[in-house]
Structure 1
Amino acid sequence: MANYIDGFVLPVPKIYLDEYRQVAEKVAQIWKAYGAIAYFEYLGNDMVLEGTKSFMEVVAAKEDEEIVFGWVVFPSKAVRDLANSKVPLDPRMTDLVAPLVNPEKLIFDASRMVYGGFKPLVRSNG
């Protein structure tokens, strides 16, 4: 159970979802080039459970936005830490992310993203 996971939740405007997906597919390959063993992003579908705070509330999602829940799996925290220091400096990331953070067409708003690194607690496969 040595794997380490970075998890994130963010809103994406519905009209830009395809553009975001295309970038995320390329970003996944960059993370894997720096040691990630898996990369996942899923769209919210059933987002409300009575008595709990939803991801929609946490990221202040608007009606015209989808919730993206993702995680990146690393073989260890050390590999994750090294990847986190190198990926932001990779020129491919700059080229990919720049159109997403354009204020005139904001697709990715980091100030509304929830993020964290996670070490194993319980793991049950199969």
Structure 2
Amino acid sequence: MGDASTPTSYVDGFILAAPTAGKQAFTDYANTFDTIFMGYGATRIIEGWGDDVPRGERTDFFRAVQTADGENVAFSWVEWPDKAARDAGMQKMMEDPRMDPANPDNPPMPFDGKRMVYGGFTPVVMLKK
């Protein structure tokens, strides 16, 4: 992988709340928009639907995104070759009308984007088989 100063990848992570009954809508939405990420340089995307997510005494995924009754959490990440590729890809996506939620041609988000938690991460440990 290289040392922490010269990582060979970069990761964007996301946690969000979505209606439990809307799993298919979330999956369809992700399939649509993840192809845009891939088109702008992402190398791998994982979209996870909460299956074995424990509730903690102080913090947990549910609290992080303020889930309400009838909602589940989704955990996703996007892998990029490096931070420069991620920054360039994100810039292009922000300019792409397919990413604009105000564009009437785009499907509505099947989750509350205001409660999404996200960030970019430099890998410090990466193990592969």
Q: TM-score, normalised by structure 2?
A: 0.84
**Could you tell me which amino acid in structure 2 is paired with residue 125 of structure 1?**
K
Query: Which consecutive aligned stretches of 4+ in structure 1 deviate over 4 angstroms post-superposition?
Result: 49-52
What is the deviation of 1:51? 5.5
Q: Which has the higher helix share?
A: 1
| Aligned 8 A contact 1:35 1:83 in 2 | yes
Matched, 1:84 2:90: yes
Listed as ranges, the gaps of 5+ residues in structure 2 are: 2-7
Q: 1:28 pairs with 12, 27, 34, which one?
A: 34
Equivalent position SS for 2:106? helix
Structure 1 residues 81 and 9: alpha-carbon distance in aligned structure 2, compared to 1, 3 A threshold: same
Matched, 1:123 2:113: no
Q: Deviations over 1:27-82 (max 9, x none)?
A: 11110100000111101112126556210011111120111100000000000001
**Could you tell me which amino acid in structure 1 is paired with residue 50 of structure 2?**
G
Q: TM-score, normalised by structure 1?
A: 0.85
Structure 1 residues 24 and 96: alpha-carbon distance in aligned structure 2, compared to 1, 3 A threshold: farther
Q: 2:78 pairs with 55, 72, 78, which one?
A: 72
Aligned counterpart, 1:109: 112
**Could you tell me which amino acid in structure 2 is paired with residue 111 of structure 1?**
K
How far apart are the structure 1 equivalents of 2:37 and 2:99?
10
